Amino acid sequence: MSAQRISGKEVAAAVRARVARAVGNCPSQPCLAVVLVGEDAASQVYVRNKIRQTEEVGMRSVHHRLDAATGQQQLEDLLQALNRDPEVDGILLQLPLPAGLDEASAIEKIDPSKDVDGLTELSAGRLVQGKPGLRPCTPTGCVILARHHLGDDLSGKHVVVIGRSILVGKPAALLFLAENCTVTLAHSRTRDLPGLCRQADILIPAVGRPEMVRGDWVKPGACVIDVGINRVPAPEKGAGKSRLVGDVAFEEASRVAGAITPVPGGVGPMTIACLLQNTVLAAIRRRGWAVRADL
């Protein structure tokens, strides 16, 4: 029996539709400022998609593109200027930055009220303390996908998150904890990782290792949310060709799991949808609009 495939594209479309309705209720257009430094090809594709989808839901997008030779001070001066701009509601600094630039320092220059990636220390602290704030996009998308399959009440589910990064692993653990799940945060030094994974009702691999999680790591009927996006050689497509795979061996896991996200088309679309959701929430909060968002 094959697992149900959870379509991130379909769920993300529903999130974007809710965002568009909220934007339509706003007195003016929320605005997202995107800052891209350098010529990284993947980042350019991501940024184009973010700008396009921002405008499709009725928000305004401002794009700042800096060359790879940009200095730390110049980048941080731009971020500070965007903080002061009353028309800008969200600031997205596209990562990774070119070598020589300090990502952590740059991120901390972003006003937490405009931190739509949820990466500043204040945003992280609010998440830890359970206070209102903007949450990291990819982990938020994981929770939405799990609720889409399992229902809104995730209480008591055992969640195993593999990976302890500040971008996905740690915030995902905290977000599922806020859903009243029992959470285990696993990593490279976890003993008997396969055995631990077999205890998970919800399994969240986020380590960046192609097809590391095998089918016999998965508890029968489990919900698998695969965060990994890895490019591997695909000689069957031709010389020099490649394909995308997740951190989970998809075909093997599909024979055991109850539901699983594909790669691509799973968590990826949710990240941008949650970025748009954060932008309209940031606009409503910082401008004091009496808007019912239903987000």
Which positions are catalytic? 50, 94, 117
Q: Are strands 230-233 and 242-245 parallel, antiparallel or unpaired?
A: antiparallel
Tokens found for residue 30: 């929320």
The whole-angstrom separation of Cα 30 and Cα 24 is 10
Of the candidates 268, 149, 166, 272, the one whose C-alpha atom is nearest the C-alpha of residue 201 is: 149
Q: What angle do CA 250, 41, 55 make, to 5 degrees?
A: 90
Q: How far apart are CA 44 and CA 65, in angstroms?
A: 10
Q: Decide: 34 and 68 in contact? Cβ < 8 Å.
A: no
Decide: helix, strand or coil at residue 117: coil
Alpha carbon of 77 to those of 82, 109, 110: distances in Å?
9, 9, 10
Q: Tell me the H-state helices in the chain.
A: 8-24, 41-56, 72-84, 103-107, 121-129, 137-150, 169-178, 193-197, 250-254, 267-287
Q: Which residues neighbour 38 within 8 Å (Cβ) at sequence distance 6 or greater?
A: 66, 67, 68, 70, 97, 98
